[in-house]
Amino acid sequence: MAAPAVRPPLGRFAAQHLVERNYLVYRRDWVVFVTGFLEPLLYLLSIGLGIQQLVDDFVLPDGTRISYTEFVAPAMLAASAMNGSLFDATFGVFFKLKYEKVYDAVLATPLRPVDVAVGELVWSLLRAAIYAAAFVAFMALLGLAESWWALLGPLAAVVIGYAFAGAGMALTTWMRSWQDFDFITLAVLPMFLFSATFFPLDRYPDAAQWLVQLTPLYHGVVLCRGLTTGAIGLEMLVAVGYLAVMGTIGLAVACRRLGALLLR
């Protein structure tokens, strides 16, 4: 009986081939790529700049006084990272898995299900970082990022994107149809509105504050707001830990689920 064929190695980071494939696809559909950056930018321009005339300045715990737009802008940065990573890790992965059958073709190569998961995750993080870098540059033009810590905004976006991409990819493996994505929208929209994005945490009812602090976007907002305002604190380390654990668990589940779906 002939010995089974051994797949040749693709290198230390085999998932890069899937990243390159996504790059080639979006190079032709760059309009779709760019539109993911517009939603938080429009929110910043409409709500941040408009309502600023009606709202008093905010005082941070360290005594720094900031305008309402400066308060909202880092939340939009976190939302931009969330949207950028979540789109590819959910809708993109589902379409390739169920309709294009891209991953079935990928497994005909030396790549494994874990390479698929890692490759999609890395691409989602690249997208989140690009959105964040553009958003930070826009904030700087408007005078909303006066702290040098804001230069770490793209790095914070990678941490946020890691959490949402990992969890989003894991949840997508259970999706049966496009209608199931309503559940993701049902979770993302309240997070966007109520994760201390537009109002400080102490303005929420006491009973709701603990619930707000459990949401991953809240921790992303804490991280970005601390960097853009220069109010660095220990709560930012808690935020990084929370998001890192969330992303790691999501990636582990996604790897197992993709293996079960693609190798059955």
How do residues 65-119 score in pLDDT, each as one tens digit?
Answer: 888 888 888 998 998 889 888 888 998 899 988 888 888 888 888 888 899 999 9
- Give the pLDDT of residue 240: 96
Q: What percentage of the chain carries pLDDT values higher than 70?
A: 89
Q: Per the structure block, which two tokens stand in for 177?
A: 């149809």
Residue 213 pLDDT grade (very low, low, confident, very high; cuts 50, 70, 90): very high
DSSP string, 35-99: HHHHHHHHHIIIIIHHHGGGS--EE-TTS-EE-HHHHHHHHHHHHHHHHHHHHIIIIIHHHIIII
Mean pLDDT to the nearest integer, 235-239: 93
Mean pLDDT to the nearest integer, 126-146: 84
How is the chain split among helix, strand and coil, in percent rounded to 5? 75, 0, 25
